[in-house]
Amino acid sequence: MVIYTVTTHTGQRLLAGTTSLISIQLRGTEAESEEQNLNRFQGFFQGSERAFKIHCKASLGELISVKLYSKSFMGLLHDQWFCDKILVNTPEGDEILLPCYCWLGCNERLVLRPAKVPSGGISANPATSVLWGAEVPSEF
């Protein structure tokens, strides 16, 4: 049995929190975790960080994606959740950032992919900046 620690970051925006049921599934190169409900008794509040343990039978391999699901609470409340980012700490000691910065509506699914730093690192050339792993002229 291996344990992944998932930390959710809810945005600071007005009404960013939710009482909807949020579930998560981790997908790796070797296997997938079971879908797990993250908020059985407590919602996600504006600006909050919450950590969860995801138990898996074996290592998932290199993390490929995280799937988020949203379902209404008892079929009554249909609010959205603004997820800033997800951090996953692997059993191997790696911390993986999955940026989100978007709203997840009720009964929606969202797939997040790990952020990657270019193999050369961040550009030292002042005429360019790194945006999502691609060099873009600074006047962009």
Range of the domain at 91: 2-137
Higher pLDDT: 120 or 9? It is: 9
**pLDDT at residue 100 is higher than 80:** yes
Task: Supply the CATH number for residue 44's domain.
Answer: 2.60.60.20
**Backbone dihedral angles phi then psi of residue 26, each to the nearest 5 degrees:** -95, 140
CA–CA gap between residue 21 and residue 77 (Å, rounded): 10
pLDDT in tens, 3-55: 999 999 988 888 887 877 889 999 999 999 999 988 766 778 888 888 999 99
Confidence of residue 58 (pLDDT cuts 50, 70, 90): very high
pTM of the model: 0.76
The answer to whether 91 and 4 are in contact (CB under 8 A) is yes
CA–CA gap between residue 56 and residue 32 (Å, rounded): 8
What total number of domains does the chain contain?
A: 1
